[in-house]
Amino acid sequence: MSTALWLLAIQGVIGAFDTLYYHEWRARLPARVPGTRPELLLHAARDFFYALLFGTLPWLAWRGAWAVVLGFVIAVEILITLADFVVEDTVRRPLGGVFPGERCTHAVMGILYGAVLAHLVPELLAWGKLPTALVVAPAPVPEPLRLSLVLMAVGVFGSGVRDLYAALQLPGGRWPWPVETQSPPGQGAGS
């Protein structure tokens, strides 16, 4: 579990970079609703699942039937990510496409998530053999890592709320960006 959590923390750092730099700064996705609504809704859903993973894995053991629930959460998150790969190509086409660096970042995150799962699945299978319960069982990792993952849970949850808010076109959802309809400088295949 220790290795899975360290890798998950790295995933969180890269994911935060992807969100802040590519989704917010470069593409300004919230400013382009309604065109970017499908992508933002997928991002929001995935963020809520990631918040659950970041917030519980360092502290809880998902035992028995709960291991099946956690497996389902992971499977749904993977399906959302696959849908996002397809949707972002469609949504970003009018904006010049997905940034090449962003595409590379997504590839690295996919590989890293595979490594997380390679270390998490054996723990999940072991938990599945135990009596059903959510048990407080802090993972054997340094306290700063556990706390960092909790902060990442809060951050990714906030990001999901922000994306959902923008996708629903609620007042101020585009903040801090003005309404944009053209691609930002440097967007497209040559970037």
Q: Mean per-residue pLDDT for 40-46?
A: 98
Q: Please give the pLDDT value at position 184.
A: 53
Please calculate the CA angle 17-93-88 and round it to the nearest 5 degrees. Answer: 45
Task: Kindly report the average pLDDT of the chain as a whole number.
Answer: 94
Tell me the two tokens of residue 189. 């295949």
Write the pLDDT tens digit of every residue in 127-137.
999 999 999 99
Asked whether residue 191 carries a pLDDT value surpassing 80, the answer given is no
Name the residue type at position 87: V
DSSP output for 4-72: HHHHHHHHHHHHHHIIIIIIIIIS-GGGGTTTTHHHHHHHHHHHHHHHHHHHHTTTEEEETHHHHHHHH
Per-residue confidence at 124, pLDDT binned at 50, 70, 90? very high
Q: pTM of this prediction?
A: 0.90
Is residue 35 predicted with pLDDT exceeding 90? yes
pLDDT confidence tier of residue 22, bands split at 50, 70 and 90: very high
Q: What is the mean pLDDT of residues 10-38?
A: 96
Q: Is the pLDDT of residue 8 over 80?
A: yes
Q: Cβ distance 153 to 15 under 8 Å?
A: no
